Structure 1
Amino acid sequence: MTRQQIRWNGDAALAAMRAGAVRGVRLGAEHLLQVANGRTPIEEGTLERSGVVSVDEGDVSAAVSYDTPYAVRQHETLDYQHDQGREAKWLEKSLHEENGTITEIIAAQVRRAVEQ
């Protein structure tokens, strides 16, 4: 009978998966920001330029936000007139439409981290 040994590096595997997830969440949020910026109401571009991605590595989470005094009102007010292709709810709509792509971005980064 041949003996075989298996070496289990569970802690290293978990650390790699977590690092991949953090990278994936960051890339997914950056993708969302890019897509949302294409719909952001624009007059001078200030609102679009204020968009940022924030990542909390501890929680493995990310947020996309816009930092102008009028960002919330522009997002939520449905009866404002916008240029063609620009609209209210630009961030919300982009998130719903890109959810599958964002999930795939995260999954790909986790797979990549584990395969290394």
Structure 2
Amino acid sequence: MPVYRQWNGSRILGEIRVGQVQGLTVAAEHLLQVSRTLVPIDEATLERSGVASVDASERRAAVSYDTPYAVIQHEELTYRHDPGRQAKYLEQPFHTEKNTMIALVAAEVRRKMRG
């Protein structure tokens, strides 16, 4: 006897969207954590200003640092930093962690599809 399943496309698409938002949240937090290990550090003000955010309706994520000098520290390649700290503290891990972030989003979508 065949087993029939009803296709509920709108429910499935909704679950995929939820998984995407959850995955973006996890991926943005991952990027924030990795970038915090590279942020130039003096009193840790810049490091503490980092935040990950997600716009669920647009399914977009962002990681940002909010100090008056965050952009300057990020872009100025001639500044000297403590060992392990650097300029491009956000750009560099964005590229090196890309595959990990994609995998994190995909895992959350798969998780929602199984549930």
Which residue of the partner structure matches residue 8 of structure 2?
A: 9
Q: Does 1:100 align with 2:99?
A: yes
Match in the other structure for 2:79? 80
- Which runs of 5 or more structure 2 residues have no equivalent in the other structure? none
Deviation at 1:4, TM superposition (A): 5.9
Partner Cα separation in structure 1 for residue 4 and residue 26 of structure 2: 38
Counterparts of 2:52 and 2:80, CA distance in 1: 27
Partner of 1:42: 41
- 1:109 matches 2:113: no
After TM superposition, the score normalised by the length of structure 2 is 0.96
SS of 2:52 mapped into structure 1: strand
State the 1:11 CA deviation: 1.0
List alignment gaps of at least 5 residues for structure 1: none
Which contiguous aligned blocks of 4+ residues in structure 1 show a shift greater than 6 angstroms?
A: none
In the TM superposition, what whole-angstrom CA distance separates every residue of 1:11-51 from its partner, at most 9, and x where no partner exists?
11111100000000010000000000000000000000000
Equivalences, count: 115
Counterpart position of 2:69: 70
Query: 1:32 and 1:75 mapped to 2: Cα distance?
Result: 15
AA of the residue aligned to 1:26: T
Tell me the distance in 2 between the aligned counterparts of 1:27 and 1:6: 32
Larger Rg: 1
Q: Secondary structure at the match of 2:83?
A: coil
